[in-house]
Chains A and B, each alone.
Chain A
Amino acid sequence: MDIAQVPQTIIFYLEPRSGVAPYIQLVRQVQHALRLGMLRTGDQLPTVRQVVSHLAINPNTVLKAYRELEREGLVASRPGQGTFVLRALAGPTAADQRALRAKLDGWLDEARGAGMDSQAIEAFIAVCLRSHSREEIA
């Protein structure tokens, strides 16, 4: 009811059709904000009450997401105060990004040369990414 009490650092959203469990969506949004520097060390995450009254979701979902982030060592909860960012996530440096981008551009040229259109490329990358992350887990 009183969302303005604590200045909010980020605002969560849900993609109901994404097929990703709501608590994982919240975890990813925090990770994303950490990578992009939208959340910094010491920042407070929205309170459970704030998220619940904004998204009309189950508070247990928010708690589950925050517990997961805590387990990953990204945030810490202080009883009675809230949940705070412990460390930011380092994304690639600008130089790394440029180098990766150059390689990817080269690969995309090759793919187009082999007759793939954008959709085919996206599908191909999605499949590669999925099997790659599966190997990582296994």
Chain B
Amino acid sequence: MISALQAQRLSKRYGHAWALRDCTLNIPPGRVAALVGPNGAGKTTLLHLAVGLIAPTAGDVEVFGWSPRRQPTVVLARVGFLAQDRPLYRFTVEEMLALGRRLNPRWDDALARRRLSAVGVPLRRRTDKLSGGQQAQVALALALAKRPELLLLDEPAASLDPLARREFMEGLMEAVAEDGLTVVFSSHVLADLERVCDYLVILSAAHVQLAGDTDEMVARHKRLTGPRCDGESIGRVHSVVQALHTDRQTTLLVRTNGHIYDPSWTVSDVLLEDVVLGYLRAPGVHALPKPQVVSDSEWVP
């Protein structure tokens, strides 16, 4: 099966700083993938490389097997992109639709109109006079009317209030249900992840820390609590993501490689949020076999 988005050691450098380094990824088609990571981790850079807005310094990126820089027309016809700063023009919604019709060969005007009327966006209103939620819906409707096979969204719901965010996500998930399109979105909102994404990419400091199927990822990570120890023996078989110690107790977040047999550990399940936060707190960890020791003072329960 050909990947919707594939990166091979993809890297981008601005001056001396790496915005993305050795990023290797394979997002299968039909997935809803989330890019998670702190500001400056490389999320926007990765999305911009995927649409060909910028050229990689090294490595390769492909969308359904095509290069966004070498075969831009093939890629752009298949990709919808919602930038973080939704560009707004002093056009009415109707005029934006006319523009989309002219610029896109596969344009589905009926789909855009159906979506906009379902969320109650007035077509004669100028887009800069709409509410934030309505602007997001217009941007989504325009992106979907292109009939993309891959939709990339950069922080799509960051500036929206909870209701508008929920309505935006409903619209997005309906589109996935109808067309089976692949979605890759960057997000800060951990609460959305569990509902919405089935594939997760954790980026930190320009590197990919972890990427994979969400359910598998959650099932594979465990919280281990036991009497104080350095966690070294467990680290030989499993990957310690985070280790927290008190005088008496050690708590580990572990990416397991099979069953945990040592009876001195109490093993418990974790939430997706625990996994994400565990990796974000330990930016140097790429699921390495060595334990990462965090001092007590850094422990934020």
Which A residues have a C-beta under 8 Å from some C-beta of B? 1, 14, 16, 19, 21-23, 48-49, 52-53, 55-61, 64
Contact = CB atoms under 8 A, between A and B. Distances in A.
A57 B196 contact: yes
Interface of B: 30-32, 114, 118, 166, 169-170, 173-174, 176-178, 191, 194-198, 215, 218, 269, 271
Contact of A14 (B166, B178, B195): B195
Contact of A57 (B31, B173, B178): B173
A52 B266 CA distance: 37
B170 A59 contact: no
Contact of B195 (A19, A53, A57): A57
A25 B60 CA distance: 40
23 contacts: A1-B118, A1-B174, A21-B218, A49-B177, A52-B170, A52-B173, A52-B174, A52-B176, A53-B173, A56-B166, A56-B169, A56-B195, A57-B173, A57-B195, A57-B196, A58-B32, A58-B173, A59-B176, A60-B32, A60-B198, A61-B195, A61-B198, A64-B215
Given A23-B215, A57-B196, A60-B198, 20 more contacts: A1-B114, A1-B174, A16-B195, A19-B269, A19-B271, A22-B194, A49-B177, A52-B170, A52-B173, A52-B177, A55-B195, A56-B166, A56-B173, A57-B173, A57-B195, A58-B176, A58-B197, A59-B176, A61-B195, A61-B198
The B interface is mostly helix, strand or loop, or mixed, namely: helix
Name the residue in A14, A16, A59, A64 with the highest tally of chain B Cβ atoms < 10 Å from its Cβ.
A59
Contacts of B31: 60
Nearest to A2: B118
A48 B169 CA distance: 15
Nearest to B218: A21
Contacts of A57: 173, 195-196
A60 B33 CA distance: 12
B194 A56 contact: no
Given A19-B271, A22-B194, A22-B195, A56 B170 contact: yes
Contacts of B169: 56
Contacts of A23: 215
A60 B215 CA distance: 12
A110 B201 CA distance: 52
B170 A53 contact: yes
